[in-house]
Chains A and B, each alone.
Chain A
């Protein structure tokens, strides 16, 4: 049952990810990306990481992508017809870089131990994540918060020129 669900949603996620690249219209790209993120969150649920799955939807699909979609809608960008021509020289950089990324992914996956069967317990429970965030990963957590705070203040300064 879980395997059927896994292959179904994995296929959905991959399909949506490819669609992000293939689509000409920016809005369709953004919507496919939302679809992909939601499908990935189902994969998290199958790995018994409910909290991560829900946070994935709230943060990425619900918050960040909403802003993306809004900018696209407000600018009302036309479908990207002749963009490929202008960026032709990018192919010469893009193909080697893509191959390099592919090599990195494959070499990493090669060394990964075979995945264990998903445990029956909730490994990604809010308690577990909270405890590890505030003990093992306290410094990165606080630094990230500081970074976000700086970005927030920066955004306010940009938006309001006469403070």
Chain B
């Protein structure tokens, strides 16, 4: 057993975990900056400008502020679950990064069922929201948690069904193999990405992913006009920060999954000297992920919110039948060819 802890494999895994964890946490902090900047530009404001050049040190200032704020626990809250809820949320959100391939070598572990692992962890994330809303023992959080969970359960269906088409084509559940199946090109210049084979699944996935991450136009769970802030109304200080980090981590996860499944993951043109060739796949991957994130941020600040019945109708009567039809057509084509 001690041999394993001093072996090269173990050290490599530890280094990978440190690199990915550090990178993701940094990216999450700066996502708040991106969100604030983009939203400000959309609303003709300058956004954060005071702390550092272009307000670039704002996330650090925000983090410090969260650390030193008073940590309020409501009197009638269930203290144990109230404290546990943000932890559950954050752990569930961060665990999925352990199987995401950031590059050909930058992946902590490639599970044979990596894709299902992400969905399993995601389905556990619901508990963070539900427990947080319930343990606060207050009306708005409870309403928000109920809405959020109903929404997440409804949209999880179409989200999961939308990827079945991709799985049928790739014939694998491992994320590394999903990327590998999209490496070559058609006619020498069109990349063999699943977005061209599965456009319907792509649209369904993108819509359901917005709903899964509880963002506008599907942010019924925290619609501030009705519910103050939804399930995290009673949370303050570091616990609120953990909820927010988990939310942004979920956005990164769904964007990374979209990249892996529909945009060929880390595939892209390789050129230059050896070190550049080693680094380029990760650069392509991060670029693609950021395109999705940017899309989600712009979407949040430009589209009004759905009504609750519209949300449920859209999920059950539009997205679900679409994804089912897509599975049918794809299985026929795969079976014939």
Contacts and interface: CB of A to CB of B under 8 A. Distances in A.
Contacts of B117: 54
B130 A66 contact: yes
A143 B116 CA distance: 25
Interface stretch (B65-73, B120-128, B312-320): B120-128
B79 interface: no
A38 B4 CA distance: 26
A58 B124 CA distance: 8
A55 B146 CA distance: 24
Contacts of A74: 146
Given A50-B111, A73-B134, A62 B116 contact: no
Interface residues of B, number: 24
A70 interface: yes
A57 interface: yes
Given A1-B4, A62-B124, A125 B112 contact: yes
Contacts, number: 59
A126 B134 contact: no
A57 B95 CA distance: 14
Given A122-B112, A125-B112, A126-B113, A69 B120 contact: no
B20 interface: no
Contacts of B124: 38, 57, 61-62
A58 B113 contact: no
A18 interface: no
Interface in B51-81: 81
Given A50-B111, A50-B113, A73-B134, A66 B120 contact: no
A20 interface: no
Interface residues of A, number: 23
B276 interface: no
A43 B331 CA distance: 34
B149 A70 contact: yes
B120 A62 contact: yes
Contacts of A55: 116
Contacts of A122: 112
B130 A57 contact: no
B173 interface: yes
A6 interface: no
A34 interface: yes
Contacts of B18: none
A69 B133 CA distance: 12
A138 interface: no
Contacts of B81: 27
B119 A66 contact: no
A58 B173 CA distance: 15
B302 to A, nearest CB: 32
Contacts of B145: 73
A11 interface: no
Interface string A58-69: 100111001001
Interface in B128-157: 130-131, 134, 142, 145-146, 149, 153
A66 B126 CA distance: 8
A69 B117 CA distance: 22
Nearest to B115: A54
14 contacts: A4-B1, A27-B134, A58-B116, A58-B119, A61-B120, A61-B124, A63-B123, A63-B153, A66-B149, A66-B153, A69-B127, A73-B130, A73-B146, A126-B113
Given A62-B124, A62-B126, 10 more contacts: A34-B127, A38-B124, A50-B112, A51-B113, A54-B113, A58-B116, A61-B120, A69-B127, A69-B130, A73-B145
Interface of B: 1, 4, 81, 111-113, 116-117, 119-121, 123-124, 126-127, 130-131, 134, 142, 145-146, 149, 153, 173
Interface of A: 1, 4, 27, 31, 34, 38, 50-51, 54-55, 57-58, 61-63, 66, 69-70, 73-74, 122, 125-126
